Structure 1
């Protein structure tokens, strides 16, 4: 200014100063006018809100001005060529990549949804409550999120005699049984094995094995015991004491397969009451014979008659051979009528009739049989004792 004041006269200096002032005022006014003509625009980028004053004409120019690039899958509230207006509100959302894996098969999605639930609804993806999903519906969507789904399928479980249809998303058979509160006992069998993975065509067979102890009370049948008795005649019996059944408790280990018994093993026996045998006396005594009845026919009408002493003998005595002096086998013919005689009195082979004995043949001899003495043959010792020694009439028939 001092330079101007030296070069210019005072009047001209005042003029210059006034011109500068006017120019400055014009410039200031122009600036004020320029700023006053800017449009106020509110821009919300991924939830972040900013207000801008701009002279740009379109939305695209504004985004370029604030360094926002719109991607293919991004969402913008206005068209890029939309004109900027004062007070305008623009919203922009950057799309996030989401990978959806369904039973191992992957698909790529882009979304501006905030939550998993909104994303699923947006893409019409629905899943059952039985399916195994990696994220809850209220989980926030982040870029690069992988949403995994294992879809449930039905398998058949033959649990003993009961058939069940259950839902699963896989895993081992042990996992499946645990998830459905199916408890195995120590002896139960499972096919396939518990460590095998469940597939859609898997059918699980559970064989329920139960081993239990069973006590069974049984009757011990009495036995019949026979005792020989000389007090009874042969062919006769007499019950001496009645038999009584006993009682035994048998303990078994019983194996049941699906409720049906497949094995029973006896592990212990305990006698509660012994049985008592039935005792039967069996007669051994020869029946009494009325020797008079042994006679065949009546006394012959004629013949030499002798009075003789008669005793009795049997072929079954100790040391007896059973054969007579004439060769008759009395053991083979115990009822044969034979008498022992003194051959000097009655010749061997003579037919005789003996009182109380009947017709007989003189077929044997004896050391003590002398003179008018005979010995009649009887079947048993008891018959001989009953005969005793007696005096009889003997008629020689021929």
Structure 2
């Protein structure tokens, strides 16, 4: 019994040793294999956004290296060397992931994939030279991030005419209002600008600031007096006497005046104020009948203008009823305004009696028959003033010598 037990123990002991030997052998092979595996790895440097990583890898290409490190390289990313490049020991791999930014260039929007790190780098990448007056938002030092909005406006020149000065100004403003605000041009309540404030400013635009003033101008004007005639039977017919002298009146006219850049552009009458009333001139016209002694000799040598059949040379002028201050009523009471076609002449009653009918001819042509129905302060001696309905006709007549004879008184 004892001998059998020893035999069994011996067998068991020898089996355990075999197992241990096998396990040891496996471990040794594993260690050797691991050592060989690790020893055959390549050492590479991976640079991601400027940060270096030292890696051991069995990857054959750059692409395998990136996949091994769970890095998905996008089509816009920067990778150097290229993905299909075979790796060598001590290789240096640089990867910069691209970001999508939204770039607006003078109003035109464009999505851009870029590996630039700052706004300045992006402009360098796009070969855009930024001028001194150009506008960039955000600032050039700002780091680029995904979905960043970048706005760029290139400056241009416009001409500003304001307060008597012409200035060439660099600007990136989009409207006239923005431009004026940037240039600190303040508009008054009445001021205006051309083009209008809502207009878009473009290169070489001319912007005119018009300073507008509204003022009141008061102008005093004289008002002519009227001449009123009154029949007076105490005065010999053909004579006149001033009963009351005339006096001009005075009014103040209030004008609203618009002034643009120092020059008057409009004037509107808004109020008329009487300062002093005018006073009529009153003239008494004699109506007392007197016996007229008129020679009717047919002697061709007679110089009496009242002789029927004798033609006598007179100096003639012409007048109308529509002159300033004229009543239109003759000294004998004929209303010339109501009867514009009347054949009337003004005479010196001491030469041709009032009420007489005269014939007048000029250059041998008979002008017609006229009634001596009016007088005038300048009609003295052999002078007559012929009434004409048209002012232009009276002006055109001027001063002419005519032949006159009395045919009835």
Normalising by structure 1, we get a TM-score of: 0.48
- Choose 1 or 2 for highest CA Rg: 1
Normalising by structure 2, we get a TM-score of: 0.47
